[in-house]
Chain A
């Protein structure tokens, strides 16, 4: 199993450009998450999808949009990139329900630089 796959691994954008970060998981998880990680800081939640067909804002949603394309795929879009969005972006997934708690499974990240 590949687990959680993120593409691209690296990306450089100019201010104002747009791009979509792709994420796919093959573990049949129902919940998917997008985090960003900045130097010396923990992971901050951008958006999440508790189940297919739903999305919700996390701690730092401004400047981002998401799409839960199907159960496997959850994309993150930057419509107009800003230097403040320079970061490492992690996608994660897990099985979650009212009686189920489980840890997150992470991809290896997309390293984004906005100049």
Chain B
């Protein structure tokens, strides 16, 4: 089956640097992508999403880029802060055969470590 994956399991950066977290997807039919942040002991928290009719979307200090040609998604965090240290997951809406419901499917996650 098709799946969402991440290139780097751990990313270490210095405070103030920009961070880039990458995600590869293989389901060309996916049309909605989401980035989540998970802090220790908590559930994943929505950061930003993007639909397949867009190639870039910006939020507060975060930008998501979507390259449908190479099926690649990235999350850019500007001026990374120690509070950004967490595990980041990308997810795609993958269609499920029976019933036609779209199921959010997650990659393994990337651990971002920000050094003061």
Residue positions of A touching B, CB distance < 8 A: 4, 33, 35, 40-45, 48, 50, 54, 56, 58, 90, 92, 96, 101, 103-109
A-B contacts, 12 of them at CB < 8 A, read A41-B108, A42-B89, A42-B108, A42-B109, A43-B44, A43-B106, A45-B104, A50-B99, A101-B51, A104-B44, A108-B41, A109-B41
Tell me the number of A-to-B contacts counted with CB atoms below 8 Å.
Answer: 59
Interchain CB contact under 8 A, A109 and B43: yes
For A48, the chain B residues whose CB sits under 8 A away are 101, 103
Given A42-B89, A43-B89, A50-B99, CB of A104 within 8 Å of CB of B104:
yes
The answer to whether B106 and A56 have CB atoms under 8 Å apart is: no
| B31 shortest CB reach to chain A, Å | 8
Leading 10 A-B pairs by shortest Cβ distance: A106-B43, A42-B106, A103-B46, A43-B106, A50-B101, A42-B108, A101-B32, A103-B34, A108-B43, A106-B44
